[in-house]
Amino acid sequence: MFPSSVIDTLRKYPQIELLSREKSHALYQLITECERNKSPLAYLLALGIPVFSALNIASKLTSDSCRAIDTLIQTIRQREYAGGNIQTLGVDFAEYGRSFSGCLAGALVGLYSPSYAAETFLTIAADPTVAFLTPDEGARLYAMADGLHAFFIKHRIDYRICSGTALGAIREKGIIRNDDDIDLMLHPNSEDSFRQLVEEGTFTKETGISIVKQPITGGLQCFYSDSPKGQPGTPTEHVGKPFIDIFTPITRLLGNQPIITYGEEKMYLQSKGDYFTPQEWGEEPTLYPFGPTQLCGVEPQAMKTYISRCYGESALHYKTLLYPHEVYSAIYATPLRAFSILAQHPVPRYMRHTEAAPLDFDHSIYEAKRALANPNLSTEVTVSSNPEELRIFVDGVFDLFHQGHQNIIKNAIKSAQEKHPDRKIVLFIGVCGDGADVKDYKRQPLMTLQQRCEAIDAYMQELIKNVSLNVSAYRILPNSPVTHTLEFIKRYGLNIIFHGSDFTQEKIDQYYGVIMRECAGTCSLAILPYTKGVSTTELILHLLQDRNFGDTPNTTGIAIELLAEQVQQREEEFTEELQKKFPEAFQPVYSNSM
């Protein structure tokens, strides 16, 4: 086997994922089988992987070279500042050198051991757990976002999400895993009001969040005072990590069209697509679910136009390639420093949207940080604030979203309507995430969090057309906590929480005990009959044995063939894990009988 130092070095190089996860795994199995049979095909296939990666890199290198030439031409013609563009391209070109070296090393590994090369270059790239931030840092970001949103609403500060945060709101409905901050932009009419609230200390007093000026963007950065600071020698060395960028607006002209953008001239010229027209900004914001909270953005069609303009149309299907903020910020201050920082970080990989999920976060830290905000600063709607509304809650993992899940949602609405016929139903649907908290609750879901949310949303779009169901509004809550706290119940002003009858009394006490102990008279727990004859476990067995759902219709929004392949792969991975842990249990048993 190759030395571990060589393999660790290889892991730093970008693996361009040419195939879906299922096809990558199938190719890995084929190469392994060919090597076992001592077929030359194994070496040809293994060599082909880094070769195709090299061709992909060469294609991007050509594209970026054309972009560099175009930048220089625009500089000569318009005398615009192009330093930021050229420095950034310099960092990219340095990465291409590392990438080609990685492909060459990959070819050598392929000659040594085709199956090991296939495992290294095919399976690592499909890992959906790669993230820039830890669950602790994710909790801090979400708590800050919640506090900022509440503060802006209270003080009538007009803002919109932008950059990677806008992309995450549309694609993952939360923080994308290869981002390390949240980006918000103020409207020109709100900048002076916000700066005054900051200068007089109202902002920090009400939110518990520190805020400083950002010299590069001309805006502000928010962070918790107990967060670790950025690397020495970078513009973020005095800013806690993670942080939220609040971009203060600058109105510029694009041709004859006024646009709302931000940053000094060189930043604007480096990312010309990052702006909103007044028409795109609009009069009223659209609320986008964002992890456990919600944030204001432009209306959906304008948002898709904005994302396409900033990142290209492929951004809605693939994760974008991002470096940590220390690299980008150092580019503006000391470019050589950017290269030294970059050398310490693995190169982020492109990953398919179907594998993407929002960043995991620690619910306990999230609640603790939210508690720092002033009690008067809240977007919660309490039970008594609108007596005509009845706020009900249904939650679950909703994996392989099926008829049983649909019945729980529909029966919760009917039950609430029968008991309170004169009140309008506001339905909250909590969808548990993919993190460690779910592993103690149920097995790891087959569908990603976004796939489950989309399946539920598609069902709800049809259900609310039923005029007999008095549902005035519904909201899907991604990354809903498994165990509910008093803070969570108050936050959404819940009146009734529904769950299926599959829970034992012990589990009811574990996950819903706080409701029975502390919410008497304001929120109650109601148990609904569990649908017999259909469950996620039974559907998984059907997929393993028959590659279908039996008599149960497929309402997941995913092709049944892909689900069957995923279940098969999950079973093989589980078997391999057991073989590694208990090798003696898989040894063949020999008989001496004649």
CATH of the domain at 230: 3.30.460
- Whether 96 is covered by a domain: the verdict is yes
Q: What mean pLDDT do residues 520-549 have?
A: 82
Q: Which domain holds residue 416?
A: 389-540
Q: What was the pLDDT predicted at 1? A: 43
**pLDDT exceeds cutoff 70 at 225:** yes
Tell how far CA 357 is from the center of its chain: 4
Rounded to an integer, what distance in angstroms lies between the CA atom of residue 451 and that of residue 559? 12
In a domain, 564, yes or no: no
Q: Which stretch, 104-113, 209-218, 412-421, 570-579, has highest mean pLDDT?
A: 412-421
**Confidence label for 210 from pLDDT (cuts 50, 70 and 90):** very high
**Which pLDDT score, from 0 to 100, does residue 406 have?**
93
Distance CA 269, CA 289 (A): 31
Q: Do 174 and 90 sit in the same domain of this protein? A: no
pLDDT of residue 367 exceeding 50, the answer is: yes
Q: Is residue 14 part of a domain?
A: yes
Residue where a domain stops, chosen among 61, 89, 121: 121
Mean pLDDT of 55-71: 60
Q: Categorize the per-residue pLDDT at 276 as very low, low, confident or very high, splitting at 50, 70 and 90.
A: very high
407: domain CATH number is 3.40.50.620
106 within a domain of the structure (yes/no)? yes
110 & 208 share domain: no
CB atoms within 10 A of CB 421: 8
| pLDDT classification of 115: cutoffs 50, 70, 90 | low
Mean residue pLDDT of the chain comes to 73
> What is the band of 131 on the pLDDT scale with cuts at 50, 70, 90?
confident
Same domain, 307 and 456: no
> How confident is the model at residue 152, as a pLDDT?
92
Same domain, 310 and 232: yes
Q: CA 155 → CA 432, 468, 558, distances in Å?
A: 32, 39, 43
Q: What is the pLDDT of residue 415?
A: 92
550-575 pLDDT, tens digit each: 888 888 888 888 888 878 777 776 66
Confidence of residue 264 (pLDDT cuts 50, 70, 90): low
Q: How many domains does the chain have?
A: 3
Q: Are residues 60 and 21 in the same domain?
A: yes
Asked, for residue 162, whether it belongs to a domain, the answer is yes
Window from 116-130, 404-418, 537-551 with minimum mean pLDDT = 116-130
Q: How does residue 408 score in pLDDT terms, banded at 50, 70 and 90?
A: very high
Q: CA 248 to CA 262: how far, in whole Å? A: 6
- Shared domain for 105 and 177, answered yes or no, is no
Residues 164 and 263 in one domain: yes
| CA 145 from centre of chain | 15
The pLDDT of residue 585 is 56
Query: Long-range contacts for 409-413 (Cβ within 8 Å, ≥24 apart)?
Result: 409/456, 409/459, 409/460, 409/463, 410/463, 410/469, 411/498, 411/528, 411/529, 412/496, 412/498, 412/526, 412/528, 413/463, 413/469, 413/471
Q: What percent of the chain has pLDDT over 90?
A: 18
Q: Tell me, what's the pLDDT at 63? A: 58
Query: Per-residue pLDDT averaged across 121-140, rounded?
Result: 67
Q: Is residue 331 part of a domain?
A: no
Are 89 and 160 contained in the same domain? no
Of the pLDDT bands very low, low, confident and very high (cuts 50, 70, 90), residue 346 is very low
Do 195 and 262 belong to one domain? Answer: yes
Give residue 328's pLDDT.
46
Residue 589 has pLDDT above 60, yes or no: no
The tokens for 397 are: 């993992």
- The residue-averaged pLDDT of 581-591 equals 56
The predicted model gives 134-161 an average pLDDT of 91
Tell me: do 72 and 158 sit in the same domain. Answer: no
User: Stretch 431-436: mean pLDDT, rounded?
Assistant: 72
Sequence letter at residue 450:
Q
Within this chain, do residues 408 and 268 fall inside the same structural domain, yes or no?
Answer: no
Is 341 inside a domain boundary?
A: no
Asked if residue 263 is part of any domain, the answer here is yes
- 370 touches 491 (CB < 8 A): no
The verdict on 40 and 108 lying in the same domain is yes
